[in-house]
Amino acid sequence: MNRRTTLKMAAAATLLGGLIAGPASAADTIKIGAVAAKTGPLAGGTAVTHWPNIQLWVEQVNARGGLKLKSGMAKIEVIEYDDQTNPGESIKAVQRLATQDKVDFIVAPYGTGFNLAVAPIFAKYGYPQLAVTAITDQIETLTERYDGLFFLLGSTEAFTQAVVDILVDLNKAGKIGNKVAMVNVADAFGIELANSARPAFEAAGLEIVYDKSYPLGTQDLSPIVKGAKAANPDAFIAWSYPPDTFGLTQEAIVQSLDTKVFYTAVATSFPAYGGKFGSKANNVLGAGGIDPDTPEMQAYLKAHKEVTGKAADGWASATVYASLQILEQAIEGVGSTDRAAVTAYIKSHTFKTVMGDVTFKNQNNEVFWTAGQWQDGRYLGVASTGRPGAKPVQLKSGWN
Amino acid sequence: MDIVITGLLLGGTYALIAMGLNLQYGVARIMNLATGEMLVAGAFAAFWCHTAGQVSPLLSLLLVAPLAFAGNWMVYRFMLRPLVRRARDPGQLEVDSILATFGMAFIFVGIMLAGFGGDYFSYSYLVEPVDIFGATYALNRIVACLAAAAIGGLLCLWLYGTRTGVAMRAVAVSPRSAGLVGIDVPAMSALAFALGGAVAASGGALISTFLTMDASVGVLFTMKALVIVIMGGVGDMRGAILAAVILGIAETAVATLIDPGLTLAAAYLMFIAVLLFRPQGLFGRRAA
């Protein structure tokens, strides 16, 4: 076969494909916009938690024919923009989705700061904003100000309170002392968590023996781990971000910081964490969790792996997916792309999601996982504000 | 003592980051803003060799270095040579090369994103404690530091001990005069640029044993490399290594004695001090 015939055949195949796809595209499509980092410092997090879930959801919905509207089935068409981890770009992209692409709905961006930055634009054009990867202590003020803004993953205090509760319980049971070494990354979420944890630890009668922050992107964390070790703590708590979660754990292994409780915040639940540290990750505590044993969750984890080719994380991944399920059910419940009606529907209904039932109270989901732990190669939820299936916390006994 | 050794280890890391840029900027006069991406590419290669083939990152250097050398030589030959030819004076070349390599950085990030995705990548290699004078250090950092010393030492020996090295330093001092005494300046520049790229990629492979990276983290390394190269004096290998070590020790001292939150402030304070009092760099000679 020479090149020309190959080309002809390729052209014919394309044409044929177009004909087959023809009738489907003649039906309604529903346009969904998505803005989040594909490059820049947050890209590592979005590649795990954010984008794969959008891909999975769209693929699943379109595979079953699309969203069921009153006018018939509508397939989803996604328009994605990279905000380059720059809130300015994020705002511009949302504006563009609303005014030029005229999308029907927009997936909330990734990161607390980004969700807050775009909230006014979402509100201005009347888009519901189901913010997942946004954790703040300002939920009440924000939901009062923005009618379509919903929070799913919880508040800062809930996460610090979970750690306090775990420590106090272990202390009361006589399993650990009351000395806590606490470090935090000097960036938004880390600072907010540390500021919320400090008074909570003290109020609970825990003694903070080491309390330091370090800049984002610190290349050598060994002085911090050494300092913490010198303070001889019973528990090591790090309000950390992905790169330093890995870095602190590695240093703790090298310095054999053998506290009975070892907690690192964001990214502890990432598959890469278990992959890197293997059995050493056993009994490390982290922020957020899931119950991987429910049938819905098992189906989700399996589909995630099959469709996107990588494993979901043990925390926010499933909630991002749940937020899309909520959007899907609200759109189908209303039966049209009437955004005001969809927002009202989200406020007044209970949704069956992969995380379990979700109901919004004052635009806030109050039932969520707050802490998890690596146990025998799996990351499991150990503390929540009312989700069933929490596993008991295990003490860490060295790094082996 | 603890501070000095931890600082030396960090300094070794910084030296790995900066030596490549030093060659590229010092000799080839290309302010390569994509050096961080070259480093990340090296790290990716080491990661890939380790996870796919269980190849030690040290062995993967044998693959990474020649590949990076060839790749950078081509980049220089086809992308940067026209800029060098066109430039009427060194200032214009500097501006042009900054713009071109800035764009190149984006292309590299895009290629790596497309090839590997935006995930964090990290693996465990030699995460073992080593006792030196009663304090504990990570073996992978020590190995990286020794490798940095070896690479730096070899480069210095070569630059100061061989005929090609002398020619290269001559180009660093004055490309025009070097041409007048019969040195093939374009070939030397290409060689320096390619070598610099190979050193940066090797550095990335070594650093990947203890740092978690993703496709778009390169710019952080570029910034650090810039600070070190300017502190050490452009094109001066000894200066760059010394600056890296000083920076490493200063950051560790500040983190241990004062507060870990002030390490960045300390680094940039030193940078400003050098710019104010020795703008030609630690070892540099004042421009005539």
- Closest CA–CA distance from residue A90 to any residue of chain B (Å): 17
* Test the A interface: residue of B8, B143, B212, B263 with most A CBs within 10 Å: B212
Task: Please state the rounded mean pLDDT for residues B263-288.
Answer: 77
Closest alpha carbon within chain B to A278: B124
* pLDDT of amino acid A18: 43
**Does position A398 have pLDDT exceeding 80, yes or no?**
yes
Average pLDDT over residues B123-148: 79
Give me the residues of B, 169-198, that contact A with CB < 8 A: none
Higher pLDDT, A268 or B3: A268
What percent of chain A stands above pLDDT 70? 93
Mean pLDDT of chain A: 87
Looking at the DSSP bridge assignments, the partners of residue A210 are: A181
pLDDT in tens, B51-100: 887 888 888 888 888 999 999 999 988 888 888 888 888 788 888 888 99
pLDDT confidence of residue B4 = 84
What pLDDT shows up at residue A186?
84
How many CB atoms within 10 Å of residue A233? Answer: 24
Query: Which chain A residues are Cβ-neighbours of B127 within 8 angstroms?
Result: 250, 253-254
Mean pLDDT calculated for residue range A276-298? 89
Q: Name which of A46, A243, A254 is nearest B212 (Cβ-Cβ).
A: A243
Neighbours of A209 (CB within 10 A): 18
Average pLDDT over residues A112-137: 91
Residue of chain B with shortest Cα separation from A255: B136
> What pLDDT, in 10s, does the model give residues A326-345?
999 999 999 999 999 999 99
The CA distance from A289 to A296, in Å, is 15
Helix extents (H) in chain B: 2-26, 35-53, 57-74, 81-86, 90-116, 139-161, 163-173, 175-180, 185-207, 218-232, 237-253, 263-277
Average pLDDT over residues A294-299: 90
The per-residue pLDDT of chain B, averaged, comes to 84
> In this predicted model, what pLDDT tens digit does every residue of A344-381 receive, in sequence order?
999 999 999 998 898 998 898 888 999 999 998 889 99
Per-residue confidence band for A22, with pLDDT thresholds at 50, 70 and 90: very low
Nearest to A136 by CA among A128, A146, A127, A125: A146
What are the respective helix, strand and coil percentages of chain A, to the nearest 5?
A: 45, 20, 30
Q: Would you say B247 and B270 are in contact if contact means Cβ atoms under 8 Å apart? A: yes
Condensed to tens digits (0 to 9), the pLDDT of residues A229-280 reads: 999 999 999 999 888 898 899 889 888 888 999 999 988 999 888 888 888 8
The pLDDT value recorded for residue B117 is 72
Tally of helices (H runs) and strands (E runs) in chain A: 14, 16
Residues in chain A within 8 Å Cβ distance of B221: none
Mind telling me how many Å the CA of A1 is from chain B's nearest CA? Answer: 32
Which residues are within 8 A (CB) of A218 and not within 5 positions of it... i.e. 6 or more apart?
A224, A244, A247, B260, B263
pLDDT at A264: 93
Give the pLDDT score at A14: 47
Of chain B residues 95-154, which have a CB less than 8 A from chain A? 109-110, 113, 117-124, 127-129, 135-139, 141
* Beta carbon pairs, A and B, within 8 Å: 125
Over residues B143-149, the mean pLDDT reads 87
Query: Which pLDDT score is estimated for A8?
Result: 52
Q: What is the pLDDT of residue A15?
A: 46
pLDDT band at A31 (very low <50, low <70, confident <90, very high): very high
Query: What pLDDT is stored for residue B173 in this prediction?
Result: 81
pLDDT at A19: 43
Q: How confident is the model at residue B27 (pLDDT cuts 50, 70, 90)?
A: confident
pTM here is 0.80
Judged by CB atoms closer than 8 Å, whether chains meet at A220 and B6 is answered as yes
Residue A25 pLDDT grade (very low, low, confident, very high; cuts 50, 70, 90):
very low
- At A333, give phi and psi (nearest 5°): -65, -40
A176 phi and psi, to 5 degrees?
Answer: -135, 160
Helix axes B218-232, B263-277, angle to 10 degrees: 40
Split at pLDDT 50, 70, 90, the class of B284 is low
Structure confidence at residue A351 (pLDDT): 93
Best residue in B214, B221, B263, B264 for a mutation probing chain A (most A CBs within 10 Å): B214
Instruction: Tell whether the model's pLDDT for residue A68 goes beyond 50.
Output: yes
Cα B73 to chain centroid, rounded: 16
- Tell me the HSE value of B119 on the side-chain side, using a 13 A CA sphere: 21
Query: A183 pLDDT exceeds 60?
Result: yes
Taking CB atoms and an 8 Å limit, are B123 and A276 in contact across chains?
A: yes
Give me the residues of A, 336-375, that contact B with CB < 8 A: none
Inform me whether the pLDDT recorded for A285 exceeds 90: yes
Inform me whether the pLDDT recorded for B119 exceeds 90.
Answer: no
- Stretch 55-84 of chain B: residues touching chain A, C-beta under 8 Å: none
* A47 contacts chain B (CB < 8 A): yes
| pLDDT given for residue A27 in this prediction | 53
Is residue A86 less than 8 Å (CB to CB) from chain B?
Answer: no
